[in-house]
Every structure is written in structure tokens, then in C-alpha cells.
Amino acid sequence: MDWSALFVSFRLAALTCAFLLPLGIFLGRWLASARFRGKGLCEALVALPLVLPPTVLGFYLLQSFGREAPVGQLWMSLTGGGLNFTFSGILLASLVANLPFAVQPIQRAFENIPHNLREAAWCSGLSPWQTLLRIELPLVWPGILSATALTFAHTLGEFGVILMVGGAIDGETRTLAIAIYDRVQAFDEQGAALMAALLLLVSFTTLGVVYGLAGRRRWGRG
């Protein structure tokens, strides 16, 4: 068992969720309510990582994280370090790759709130901010839960993008998924099997718990 890979994987998944959820709530609500020209384009951009081959996404991220590229330069001026082959780099890549998993369930949940509930809240004297906190967020809770589960599980399993951007540096960018690949390459099938089983168990448990919670009867009969 590669304990440092396990730690990198969980750290990456937890941080990805922590950064993406606020963004997912903001973007999801905005996309659910805004009406503007080019909205379809925005939605397509958010969904793109779903259909793009991970190596393609990874290749572009690798390019843009380079010291010559604007993103790489900006990061360099802010932190003094590079992005490629660092934990920060794979975290940033993971944020991009998981954007649709975080945004889409939350957007759907916001879309399902009847507009007149917001209006009823305003007529009851609640400000837009109070309406978000007291009415909308409790109602989109299942969507937020799904987004968390999907993002967490997907980050644990991400392979192509991480390998392209981060390589496989022990304790820094080698995640469990990459460690499994390395074990297989080294003909250590037993080591690979153990880690694969662990990943399977964790992913399944995460999804099971979340769907179980989301599917539970809420708010009485209906």
C-alpha cells in the first residue's frame, strides 16, 4: 500500500471540494437564473471537461501552466514557484477538470426552485441575500450533496489530467490512481489490487452515503 499516494489523493479530493463548492454554488445559481446571449456557450464551457479526453485537457493545462504562459507567469509572480509537477498544479488542474461535476447538479437544483418561492420570500420582507440563505440553499441541499460526492469521487479516480500536469512525484503528485498504474507497470499485481480495491470501496461508500442521504424522505410526506 502506497500510503503517501493515498494521502495525496485524499488531500487533493478534499481541497478540490473545498474550493469548488462555493464556486459551484455561485456559478450554478447564476446559470440557473441569468438570461443572456451566449449563455449556451458558457454552459458548454463548463461542461467541456466532461467530454474532453483527459490527456487533451491535461495537455492544454500543461501548456498554460508553463513559465512562458500567462497562467504560469501569474502564479510565478504570486508565489515564486512553478505549477507543473507540483501539488498546486494538480489541484488547479483538478479544479478545472471537476467544474462540471460541481456546477451541474447545483444548477439543476436551483432551476427546480419555483420562482414564486423567491418572490414570496421578498414579499415576506427577506432580502435577496436572506432569501438565498433561508430559502434557496436549504432547497438546493441535495444538489450540493451530489456535487460534493461526484467531485470527491471523480477527483480520487482522475488519472490522465493529473499524470499530464503532475507526473508521478512521490508525496507530491503521485495519487492513488497513478500509483496503481505504476504498480502494474512494475508487475506488482498484488499491490495494485489492494489499492484498486481501496479506491473502489471509498468511491462506492462516498456515493452510497450521499445518495442515501439525498434520497431520504424530507419535509414530511411529499
Partner 1 sequence: MARLIVSTQQSGPIPLNAEFSCLPGELLALVGPSGSGKTTLLRAVAGLYRPQQGRVECAGQTWFDSRGKRSLSPQQRRVGMVFQDYALFPHLTALENIALALRHLPSARRRPQAEQWLETVRLKGLEHRYPSELSGGQRQRVALARALAREPQVLLLDEPFSAVDQVTRRRLQRELARLRQQISIPIVLVTHDLEEAAALADQVCVLHNGRSLQQASPDTLFRTPASPNVARLLDRHNVFEGQVVEVGGARRLRWGNDQLDVASGLDGLNINEHVAWYLPPSDIVLHRRGRPSLGDRENPIAATVDELVVLGGMTSVALRVQHGDLLRFDIATHAARRNQLTPGAAVHVSLLAGGIHLMPGHGVNSAR
Binding interface with partner 1 (CB under 8 A): 114, 116-117, 119-127, 134-135, 138-139, 218-222
Q: Compare residues 135 and 195 and give the one whose CB is closer to partner 1.
A: 135
The radius of gyration of the chain's CA atoms, rounded to the nearest angstrom, is 20
Single-letter amino acid code for the residue at 221? R
Determine the residue type at 189.
E
Q: Which amino acid is at 44?
A: A
Task: Give 80 or 114: the residue with its C-beta nearer to partner 1.
Answer: 114
| Helix (H), strand (E) counts: the chain | 12, 0
Q: Which of 17, 29, 20 is nearest to 135 (CA)?
A: 29
* Closer Cβ to partner 1, 39 or 218, answer by number: 218
Location of C-alpha cell 471509498: 202
Q: Which is nearer to partner 1, 119 or 188 (CB)?
A: 119
Phi, psi of 147 (to 5 degrees): -60, -45
